[in-house]
Structure 1
Amino acid sequence: MTGYLGYDTVTVGGISVQNQIFGLSESEAPFMATMVADGILGLAYQTIASDDATPVFDNMMNQGLVSQDVFSVYLSSSGEQGSVLLLGEIDSSYYTGNIYWIPLSSETYYQVTMDSVSINGQIVACSGGCQAIVDTGTSLIVGPTSDISNINAWLGATTDQYGDATVSCSNIQSMPEITFTLNSYTFTIPASSYISQSYSSCRTGFGGSSDSLWILGDVFIRNFYTIFNRQTNNVGLAQLA
């Protein structure tokens, strides 16, 4: 991506930040050509911002425009309306039980230490621990190719030359849950969450990468009310109400 920086008033959810710096693109990555959205609202730390630009949520915090230095996300089930981004708020109507807090291991993206990934009580990936970012901007759960291949093999998936792993749609009901352990807490997602069904096939929501860093994207986040706490530098996860 190439472009330049500009300033303007940026309003999100009724909260306005004057003289907010942002990027104006002149060329973009190919995937952005088909985006419905007009842009990307970056909510990670300033440490990874282009030209040390102050992100919009940092300005909201610095200017006292939010009541708490947190934002939270509820992603509705696939195909349904009602996903919500709450700035400065934690809404208890979206979750039940406790919020489980995971400390950040790096204040760049929302990076945490993941203990393991398991199926039926057996560790199938991230053995001995690994690093992961909780990222609403990524659709899939992404991990090192070897780990993802092992997960997909456990699911009985067939992987094509492009890395897409498919399963028989008739097997979804009998496929196992997958458990992610973070800060000794277990977070389990069912097959109905990690399998996407189209008119012709059923794909797993796991993608391989040459990077050692895992990305817990929307396939994971959709199962939990997710809180990004900038005051304590934690990520909170709670069961959906």
Structure 2
Amino acid sequence: MKWLVLLALVGLSESLFRVQLEKFKPVRMVLEEQGLLDDFLEKNPYNPYSKYQIFAQTVNEPMINYLDMEYYGIASIGTPPQSFKMLFDTGSSNLWVASVYCNSYACTNHKKYDPSLSSTYVATNQYMSIQYGTGSMTGFLAYDTVNVAGINVPKQIFALSTTEPGNFLHYAPFDGILGLAFPSLSSGGATPVFDNMMKQGLVSQDLFSVYLSREGSTGSMVTFGGIDQSLFTGSINWVPLTSETYWQIKIDYLKFNGEVVACAQGCSAFVDTGTSLLVGPYEGMTSVERAIYPLINCDNIASMPDLIISINGVEYPVPASAYLRNCHMGLQAINFPSSSGNLWILGDVFLREYYSIYDRANNMVGLAKAV
């Protein structure tokens, strides 16, 4: 054997070498010899990020309610940190921010990221673009340290905008968007922020949750790594995802005044904190609006029927005070095509009523009655 040659070279006896070998046997070898290795590995699975677990946490990031239309919080990029107002968006996956390279009208009234001020900035030559339901941007990808709610994410890929066409983003109260959907939806193959939080063991659970306040009030919150029990009542209903792109689920039906008015055979929808309204395809939403319109009573909205959305066998009432804002419907008809047909979007009109939990470990959405 090869180790016998080594013994001769160093002048050790075989018996003495065996004694020394026993003293320094790896734990894995000892467990394997005793038939305990499989049981040990099952109870203690290998986690390459275990050394980071002392940093795993559950943190809250307060959000500003802007006119019940947009909800944004603060995230920083760079070393030292440059802070920006960010829309936390479950309907997209990329992180991007207005930059000093952007000369579009939309960038003129927003804070811009300046890479020359960051010692941890690393550029790439990769171009990217994103088209949203309203607004768009183009730019290029780079890496830098990102901090969200006190969680430091090193070498996070993000985009610096170079153009932001049109007027929509000019009037938006935020400087950029932090996408919280799945990597498969990400432009340029960029890894989303929350995915890096999970991979690096920076959150105590692989989920985050969102509470949206009403009537412009304070208290809106995104919680990374946990669930805030004080922000909902009753039990959490868990809904399996039908696609891991958006946070996509199945709707059983929509009912109004005791009658099914849309999705009688079921339909697909996604839960989107970045969309202000409740959105549906033209045919279905037109049917909903036709049912509601004759019963609108602006002098007594509380007397109007709820719009019922059934999801995974549970009915979720949306009161008239939610789907009517200043006696205008918070509904919109848009065909949003996908491989599952035209999608519905459960935006803020719905999410103000229901605390939402986004579970990446089990690929489910949790819904509970918001306080």
TM-score normalised by L of structure 2: 0.60
Show the counterpart of 2:176.
Answer: 39
In 2, the alpha carbon distance for the partners of 1:124 and 1:222 equals: 22
Query: How much does 1:157 deviate?
Result: 6.4
CA distance in 1, matches of 2:294, 2:269: 23
Q: Deviations over 1:186-229 (max 9, x none)?
A: 111100111111xxxx2111100123100000000110111000
1 CA distance for matches of 2:139 and 2:255? 43
Deviation of 1:168 (Å): 5.5
DSSP 3-state at the match of 2:181: coil
1:206 to 320, 331, 338: 331
The 8 Å contact of residues 273 and 351 in structure 2, kept in 1 or not, is answered as: yes
Deviation at 1:232, TM superposition (A): 0.3
For 2:146 and 2:356, the matched residues in 1 are separated by: 24
Residue pairs, 1:44-123, within 5 angstroms = 44-123=181-260
TM-superposition CA deviations, 1:136-189 (whole Å, max 9, x none): 00000100112111111111169xxxxxxxx56225232210111111111111
Whether 1:24 and 2:24 are equivalent positions in the alignment is no
Runs of 4+ more than 6 Å apart: none
Please, which moves more after superposition, 83-92 or 21-30?
21-30
Q: Verify: 1:180 aligned to 2:309, yes or no.
A: yes
State the match for 2:77 in structure 1.
none
Identify, as 1 or 2, the structure richer in helix: 2
| Structure 2 counterpart of 1:231, one-letter code | A
Aligned to 2:277: 140
- Residue ranges of structure 2 left out of the alignment (5+ in a row): 1-136, 337-341
Tell me how far 1:26 sits from its aligned partner.
1.4
- Residue 233 of structure 1 aligns with an amino acid whose one-letter code is N
Distance 2:235 2:145 in 1: 37
Are positions 1:219 and 2:349 aligned together? yes
Q: Is the 8 A contact 2:297 2:304 kept in 1?
A: no
Letter in 2 for 1:22: F
Greater strand share, 1 or 2? 1
Q: TM-score, normalised by structure 1?
A: 0.91
- Structure (1 or 2) with the larger CA radius of gyration: 2
Deviation at 1:124, TM superposition (A): 0.4
The DSSP-based 3-state class of the residue aligned with 1:193 is helix
Deviation at 1:82, TM superposition (A): 1.1
Partners in 2 of 1:210 and 1:92 — Cα distance? 36
Over the aligned positions, Cα root-mean-square deviation in angstroms equals: 1.4
- 1:22-65 deviation line (CA, Å, top 9, x unaligned): 11111124311111111111000000101111000000000000
SS of residue in 2 equivalent to 1:236: strand
In 1, are the aligned partners of 2:352 and 2:370 still within 8 Å (CA)?
A: no
Residue 319 of structure 2: which of 186, 190, 204 is its match? Answer: 190
In 1, Cα distance between equivalents of 2:263 and 2:281:
9
CA spacing shift, 1:107–1:173, aligned 2, 3 Å: same
Task: Report % sequence identity.
Answer: 51
Unmatched runs of 5 consecutive residues or more in structure 1: 159-166
Tell me, yes or no, if structure 1 residue 235 matches structure 2 residue 365: yes
Letter in 2 for 1:124: V
Structure ranking higher on relative contact order (CA contacts 8 Å, 6+ apart)? 1
Contact 2:256 2:292 (8 Å CA) reproduced: no
User: In structure 1, what is the Cα distance between the partners aligned to 2:214 and 2:314?
Assistant: 23
